Amino acid sequence: MARTIIIFFSIALLFANCKKKDTDKPDTYTPTCSGAKSFSNDVFPLIESKCKKCHTNMDDHAEVKALAAAIKDNVTSGIMPKDDKLTDAQKDIIVCWVEAGAPNN
Ligand code: HEC
Q: State residue 79 phi and psi, 5-degree precision.
A: -65, -35
Query: Is 90 exceeded by the pLDDT of residue 54?
Result: yes
Tell me the pLDDT tens digit for each residue of 12-41: 544 454 444 455 555 589 999 999 999 999
User: What is the predicted pLDDT for the residue at 5?
Assistant: 45
Query: What is the C-alpha radius of gyration for the chain, rounded to an integer number of angstroms?
Result: 20
Longest dimension (CA), the chain: 72
Q: How many Å apart are CA 37 and CA 101, to the nearest integer?
A: 11
d(CA 65, CA 101): 9
Choose the residue to mutate in 64, 74, 77 for probing ligand 1, maximizing ligand atoms within 8 Å of C-beta. 74
Residues 6+ positions from 41 with CB-CB distance below 8 Å: none
Q: What pLDDT digit, counting tens, does each position of 61-81 carry?
A: 999 999 999 999 999 999 999
Our answer on whether the CB atom of 74 is closer than 6 Å to any ligand 1 atom is yes
Q: Looking at ligand 1, which residue's alpha carbon is closest to its atom 13?
A: 82
- Take atom 31 of ligand 1 and give the residue whose Cα is closest: 80
71 CB near ligand 1 (under 6 Å): yes
